Structure 1
């Protein structure tokens, strides 16, 4: 968490209250107004407006510009933030506690009805296309590997640029697109979702945002907590969600899934002397 340098000796009691609020809500301030701060603290707008000059800024806008420069979100400062929170001798306990928190938050917003709709789509689609930019690539490989064993037709899409058109041209209204949409709606994701709607291809988005453009652009949205924007993003909850999807699809297509796995075992036995495990 970014720590501001407050000169507490020069602040009045009201100004200390504002400073405390600012420090506790540092990353939300970029999207907050002076009136909202005043309302939260039961202070006048004038008191809040005068505060910024007292702490060295021309106005609230000037403070926001400074804050934006100092709290730029990057992989480096995400890692730095989490390292500041834990000592080496307690890191495992801290990370475990955070992982449990992500899982609990994911379950808090879990909808059995929406989850079943996703299972139905994945189980009955002719083809499943997966778009997985950035760190979600590992999750895409996991679900491709597992669902392919059940006999489903899985296609991983290119990550960016015009190459996605080579995949979009083959999608039909009997297919499903599974998208990992963490943090924000990428231009490629926007194109994929728009094309899906045009041709009637259903879309499932797994995201770490409760409120985003995905809610209005995708057919099904599944939430998985990964932490706040400025934190080191955990993939524990998304992995948990993916593993549940895999198991649920296997159960829904139980006879077919077991038959394909038996075929796999037979191949292993037949060629075990040539290709030992």
Structure 2
């Protein structure tokens, strides 16, 4: 819903609305135009004109789309994929969807930000990864690959107070890489809050171009996964993670190659005694 809002020629007042609405979706759903105008110190005419400027017919049209997003369930997302595939080739359709997500991710990938993230990871005393839900596989991939460079990654608990058991150790010279998909979780909010006191660097990987509290992260990387009501692919986030892994390896090329050569030597020496997992 908000993918092109950063590129639309909004007026200053419309830009205020474009910043407010994504951060207050559930409130906006039940607010009148007058209530929105009063809270932001704008005229009701400015609010009324905003919807068309943002690509909607009127406030009701926007709220219907927003309500549909909130009501989207896993079954609705799967049904959407099935309907889009129809009687056609599933592999071909998934390839088209994946290609779209990769193109979108690449379009918004800022080389300078990516390099900053690579340097932060390379220089970190300790890297922590917050990877709730389906992001767990991305953390596993990152930990496995980075271990080959001699870099250890600590994964944080996905929810609840157990997160604090790891977060309490994060401080200056550390990096916390957090995945923030669809909505702002309380755990992500805690990570962003505590960063101001502890001094660690926060790298946020998100699938929302306008994500709540993203301004509190040091580095924000966007990964396309489709709209909220669509089946969410992990192709885009995987692309980001592999860029980070390879970037770290290239930044310390000689050190990385020595580690990989050592791995190959050990494989040649003990490979016959150890089964491949």
Contact 1:206 1:223 in 2 (8 A): yes
Question: 1:106 matched to which residue of 2?
Answer: 105
User: Which residue, 48, 70, 89 being the options, matches 1:35?
Assistant: 48
Distance (whole Å) between structure 1 residues aligned to residue 109 and residue 120 of structure 2? 18
Distance (whole Å) between structure 1 residues aligned to residue 114 and residue 65 of structure 2? 42
Count residues with an aligned counterpart: 232
Q: Deviations over 1:36-75 (max 9, x none)?
A: 59857xxxx9xx89xxxxxxxxxx59x9689848971211
Shift of residue 84 of structure 1? 1.1
Question: 2:171 matched to which residue of 1?
Answer: 172
Answering whether residue 144 of structure 2 is matched by residue 152 of structure 1, we say no
Contact 1:179 1:205 in 2 (8 A): yes
Higher relative contact order (CA 8 A, sep 6+): 2
> Could you list the runs of 5+ residues in structure 2 that have no partner in the other structure?
1-27, 34-46
Question: 2:85 matched to which residue of 1?
Answer: 86
Question: 1:238 matched to which residue of 2?
Answer: 237
Answering whether residue 73 of structure 2 is matched by residue 74 of structure 1, we say yes
Contact 2:130 2:178 in 1 (8 A): yes
Larger radius of gyration: 1
TM-score (norm 1): 0.76
Question: 2:118 matched to which residue of 1?
Answer: 119
Question: 1:7 matched to which residue of 2?
Answer: none
Contact 2:125 2:174 in 1 (8 A): yes
Question: 2:204 matched to which residue of 1?
Answer: 205
Answering whether residue 237 of structure 2 is matched by residue 224 of structure 1, we say no
TM-score (norm 2): 0.76
Contact 2:117 2:203 in 1 (8 A): yes
Question: 1:274 matched to which residue of 2?
Answer: 273
> Could you list the runs of 5+ residues in structure 1 that have no partner in the other structure?
1-28, 50-59
